[in-house]
């Protein structure tokens, strides 16, 4: 018996024909680690937590930035062009960011829009998909 068993009893460890993988980082878990030091089940759990946490952080930052921007640019740019200044409620990306981080946070790519104009723009974008790659 030269096997060193860490973190509980793992029959899988002993029967493994090739280099044994470490056990799951959750100490009470008998499974082998598959990803990031966690077994499949625990990895999935951690991945889910990680994602929601990241998303929450992102939302906070965006909410704050958006409020500041609306404070500085309180009028819908499209309404203003039409000569009827209306209060803006939405910060829109002039060029759709499509998940591009830099484009997303680039304030020169932001504009204040009212509900109506934001909806009108989104409609146009989702119908006019020909010119994007
Ligand atoms: Zn586990
Ligand atoms: Zn407007």
**Nearest residue to 69 (alpha-carbon basis) of 85, 88, 95, 84:** 88
Among 61, 85, 113, residue at a domain's last position? 61
- What mean pLDDT is predicted for residues 89-115? 94
Structural domain includes residue 9: no
Supply the mean pLDDT for the chain: 82
The CA distance from 60 to 54, in Å, is 10
Distance 121 CA to ligand 2 centre (A): 10
Distance 12 CA to ligand 1 centre (A): 13
Strand partners, 32: 23
Distance 3 CA to ligand 1 centre (A): 20
Structural domain includes residue 26: yes
Residues sharing a CB contact under 8 Å with residue 34, sequence separation 6 or more, in sequence order:
21, 40, 43
Is 131 buried (19+), middle (13-18) or exposed (0-12) by CB count in 10 A?
exposed
Domain region containing 102 = 73-131
Q: Residue 117: what pLDDT?
A: 96
**Ligand 1 ion: residues within 5 Å (CB):** 24, 26, 29, 31, 39, 42
User: Do 124 and 81 belong to one domain?
Assistant: yes
Distance 118 CA to ligand 2 centre (A): 7
User: Do 87 and 123 belong to one domain?
Assistant: yes
Q: How many domains does the chain have?
A: 2
Q: Which ligand is nearest to the CA of 46?
A: 1
User: Do 89 and 125 belong to one domain?
Assistant: yes
Structural domain includes residue 15: no
- What mean pLDDT is predicted for residues 38-52? 85
Percent of the chain with pLDDT over 90: 50
**Cα 73–77–83 angle (5° rounding)?**
120
User: Do 36 and 77 belong to one domain?
Assistant: no
Higher pLDDT, residue 97 or 110: 110
Higher pLDDT, residue 6 or 106: 106
Distance 128 CA to ligand 2 centre (A): 20
């Amino acid at each position: 018996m030269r096997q060193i068993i860490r973190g509980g009893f793992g029959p899988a460890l002993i029967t493994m024909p090739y280099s044994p993988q470490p056990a799951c980082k959750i100490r009470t878990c008998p499974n082998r680690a598959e990803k990031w030091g966690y077994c499949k089940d625990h990895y999935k759990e951690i991945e889910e937590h990680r994602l929601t946490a990241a998303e929450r952080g992102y939302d906070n930052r965006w909410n704050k930035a958006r409020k500041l921007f609306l404070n500085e640019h309180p009028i819908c740019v499209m309404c203003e062009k039409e000569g009827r200044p209306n209060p803006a409620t939405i910060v829109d990306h002039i060029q759709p960011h499509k998940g591009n981080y830099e484009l997303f946070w680039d304030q020169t790519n932001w504009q204040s829009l009212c509900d109506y104009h934001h909806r009108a723009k989104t409609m146009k974008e989702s119908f006019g998909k020909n010119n994007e790659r």
